[in-house]
Each structure stands twice: as structure tokens, then as C-alpha cells.
Amino acid sequence: MSDEFENGGNSSKYAVGAIAVALLCTVVAWQFLGSAQHSGYVPVEGTVTLDGKPLADANVVFEPIGTENGIASGQPSYAVTDSDGHFQIGNPVKNRDGAAVGEHRVRILLTPQKKYSDEQIQTARKTLEKAEMESGGTADAVTDEQVLQHLSDQPLTLQQAAKLPARYNTDTELTFTVLESGGTADFHLTSGKVAVD
């Protein structure tokens, strides 16, 4: 009788061990194969404009809004707009590319104002001088005012938008719902009301 008990005990140990190994394999497979796709973070991209012009070098922050219990769907995600005002949200945590699915508070921030660099001014001057000479004029005809005007005609950067109203950052009115399929979040900032697509 004790032999039967011992044999039954061994098979129980093996069964428990097999279940533990299977469970461990499932967890590991989910972690390494599925976490990137099922992490609750999805691709989000979009553009930011200010008074109809692309806003370059703006920091875009997506902050998940918590439930009434204070539980948020994830951690904040970030992006910086390019020269066309385009951004693609990212997250510094591995396997969390994009933004968490759910409702977000969106903040758009600018760093302190900076002046045009010498390189920007020289590039603008060369562009204008070339255009002037192609139209039969001389390079000397290009004025400093024309160079500054040319730079100001480019997408808005920190020079043209040194400070955004608080309603876009510290006291933000901007929100965006991130769907499971991801999405496009375009923010059209104005000196008046805000419009979100």
C-alpha cells in the first residue's frame, strides 16, 4: 500500500512540475512574443499647428487620465514635433511604443525662446540671393529684413511662438482618446479657441 502511495505521490509531483513548466513557458512566451502587441500601447501620430502654420520643436505629452478610482491606463508618452509640425508618440519603456489605450490629457510645451542661428540666417540669405540672381538681380539686393521675413515664412518654431497659452500646457484643455487601433491626433492651436481633429 505504501508503494502505491509513493508512486501516486511521484506522479502528482510530476504533474505539478509539468503544469508549472507549462505555465512558465506560457508566461515567458507572452512576455517576449506578445507584450509588444498586447501591451496596451498603440501607435499615435499627428501634427501640431499654431494659427495655421506647422509648429516645430514642440514637446507633445500624452498623459493617461485615471478612472474615478485614480487608476490610469498607463504611463505618459512623449514626442517632439519636426519641422512640419508632425510627431509620433513614443514611450521610454521597452515594448511600449506609442500611447496607452484610453483617454488622455494632452500638453503641448515649448522650451525657452531662442534666436535664429547663424547657420539658419546664412542658409536663408543664400536661398534668397540665388533666387534674386536667377531673376536677373544681384546678391547685394537681398536685405536683412528680407532674410528675417523668409525665416518667419518657414514653419513656426520657438522664435515665432515663444510661449503658448496655458490652456495648451499647464492648464490644458486638450484631450484625446487613444483607440485600440491607434490613431491620428491633429492639434490646431490658435490664439483663440482650440480645434482637435
Sign of the C-alpha dihedral, residues 107, 112, 113, 114?
A: negative
Backbone φ and ψ for 57, nearest 5 degrees, come out as: 60, 25
* 188 and 127 in a common domain: no
Report pLDDT digits (tens) over 142-163: 887 778 767 765 654 444 444 6
Interval 25-47 mean pLDDT: 61
Instruction: Check whether 28 has a pLDDT greater than 80.
Output: no
pLDDT for 32 equals 44
* 53 and 1 in a common domain: no
The domain spanning residue 93 has which CATH number? Answer: 2.60.40.1120
Q: In Å, how far from its chain's centre is CA 194?
A: 19
* Domain span holding position 10: 1-38
pLDDT band at 106 (very low <50, low <70, confident <90, very high): very high
Share of the chain above pLDDT 70, in %: 65
* 108 and 61 in a common domain: yes
Place of cell 508503494: 3
Report pLDDT digits (tens) over 74-91: 888 889 899 999 999 987
Which pTM value belongs to this model?
0.55
* 191 and 126 in a common domain: no
Sheet hosting strand 102-109, strand order edge to edge = 77-80, 59-64, 102-109, 175-178
Q: Which residue has the higher pLDDT, 10 or 158?
A: 10
* 50 and 18 in a common domain: no
Instruction: Check whether 22 has a pLDDT greater than 60.
Output: no
Report pLDDT digits (tens) over 160-178: 444 688 889 888 899 999 9
* 82 and 49 in a common domain: yes
Q: Which residue has the higher pLDDT, 35 or 61?
A: 61
* 172 and 124 in a common domain: no
**What is the number of structural domains in the chain?**
3
Amino acid identity at 168: Y
pLDDT for 35 equals 39
* 97 and 53 in a common domain: yes
**Average pLDDT over the chain, rounded to an integer:** 75
Task: Report whether 110 contacts 157 (CB < 8 A).
Answer: no
* 84 and 1 in a common domain: no
Cell of 78: 512623449
Instruction: Check whether 10 has a pLDDT greater than 90.
Output: no
* 80 and 142 in a common domain: no
* 123 and 103 in a common domain: no
* 102 and 73 in a common domain: yes
Question: Beta partners for 46?
Answer: 87
Task: Report whether 44 contacts 184 (CB < 8 A).
Answer: yes
Q: Which DSSP letter does residue 166 get? A: G
